[in-house]
Structures are given as structure tokens and as C-alpha cells.
Amino acid sequence: MFQGSFPALITPFTESLEIDFDAYGRLIDFQIENGTNGIVPCGCSGEAATLSHDEQKSLIRFAVERVAGKIPVVAGTGSNNTAEAVGLTKYAKEVGCQGALLITPYYNKPTPAGLVAHYTTVANEADIPVMLYNVPGRTGTKISPETIAELSKVPNVVSVKEACGSVDQVSQILSRCDINVMSGDDSLTLPMMVVGAKGVVSVAANVIPGIMSKLCAAANAGDYDKARELHYKMLPLASALFLETNPMPVKAVLAKMGMIKNVLRLPLVPMTDESASRLDPFLKELGLI
């Protein structure tokens, strides 16, 4: 269903903390011009936790209109309130998204039965391809391979973004079902693709979309020599983008590139000057600054 590099787009803000739609449009154009395979607005990297539902809907609609059918849009529509997730996911379908990314309900800590009920309800009521988002480091809840296999039987549950930091997790999933798997960790994209993942929902692709899309294309074509070359080319930057909490470093990089203002909504703040300076050698190596 989904294949290649799908950047988890950041949300640019003005100095008054309003959404900077001019910058957002430039970021989307930058992705299309550099061969990215799809975009994911309003995920964790997009600071969805501090967006109102109206803002989230505005960003999703804007993204769909800006790409004008050139690439798929998979909108972040998850919530720890199932009814809210249903409403946002229905909206994503109404405005023309090709899929919806739904994070596991955070704080509630649902059981496997609760996860199945949550995702089944959203998938059935919204009737749009659903990508599960398994990121226990953010949510406190991990979807087990067994639960993912059970959810893969739901017609609209077609994919999972795996951000457990484990290649074995991907192997265990694909040994149980044929659901589409997308890496949720840039540094593990190639290892995950070797065992069967089809691409990545990427933080690094915000700034190096061409490298990430070419890496995925090479891996999907079985050209592992080329994919390995690109893996080691992007790896230092991909690791540096997690020196502090995402999306603090990637916003710092995009600001250095002159694409956005380095503004985040509380409780996130710009990364420290000391950490930001550690990014510069990697950016210069890749010709980004």
C-alpha cells in the first residue's frame, strides 16, 4: 500500500506561534521537487499534541491541496480518545487523503483487546486506509506482533509505522501476517527493509528528502550496495536529529537552511546552542549549509 520515503512533516510557526502556511507550502514543494514518495502532516514531528483540531484540519486540507495529487498524503489523525480519532480520520478522507496515521492511544494504556477495539472502530467508521503507529517510547503502550497480526484482518488496517527501535519486531510481525510495514526509525530503515519493510516515515527526510527516497528505492529494487552507501551517508545526520527531543533538532536544521523560523510551541523549546552547534559538521558534509 505505502512504499518509499514519507517525511513526517514538521509544522512551521510564526514568531507569534501561528501556523506559517507560507513556510509550510515551501516545505511541501521542497519535498515534491526532491522526489519524496508521500507526506505525513500532523504527526509527532508536526507537534500535533499542541495543535487544535481546527488547526490540524487546516494543515491536512492545505497539504492535500498543495500536493494536488502528485504524491499521497497520509494524515496524522490519532488520539487517545477514540471518538476524536474517528472524527479527524473521517475528515482526512473527506478532503482527499490517501491514508491516516493513528498513534496508539497514549496515557490510557489500553490492553490488547482495547487496541483492537480502538483501531477497528476507527477503520470501520472512517473507511480509509489506516497506518498503525507503534511508538511505545512516546505512548507507554506497545502493540505486540500478535495484536498487529489480529488487526491486519481488519480490511482498512493496511500498514504499521514501526518505531519500537527493533528489527526483530518487524520480523515477528511479518512472520505472522503480510501487513505493509514502514520504518519509524531513520537509522533502522535499511535493516528493516532487508527483512521486509517497504519504506520509512522519516524525520530526516524533512531535510534530506532525496537521499531518503533514493535509499528506499534502492532497497526495494534489491540494490543493497547502493542502499548501504546511502544509509551510511545519512546515518550521522539521522542520529544527530535526536540529540534532543524531536522535532527540536530538525526545526533547528530547517532554520539554518533558511526554510522556517526556529519556533516551537511549549512545552517544547528550541534546542540548546551547544547541541545545535553539534549539527553543523553533518550539515556541511551534506551541503545543507
Mapped onto helix, strand or coil, the DSSP state of residue 236 is helix
**Is residue 24 annotated as part of the catalytic site, yes or no?**
no
DSSP letters for 98-117: SEEEEEPPTTT---HHHHHH
**Is residue 232 annotated as part of the catalytic site, yes or no?**
no
CA distances from 115 to 60, 122, 125 (A): 25, 11, 15
What is the rounded distance in angstroms from the CA atom of residue 232 to the CA atom of residue 227?
9
For the sheet containing 74-76, what is the strand order?
4-7, 199-202, 180-183, 157-162, 130-134, 99-103, 74-76
Catalytic residue among 24, 119, 133, 251: 133
Catalytic residue among 57, 161, 214, 251: 161
Residue environment code for 88-121, b if the CB has 16+ CB neighbours within 10 A, otherwise e: bbbbbbeeebbbbbbbbbbeeebeeeebbebbbe
Residues marked as catalytic: 133, 161
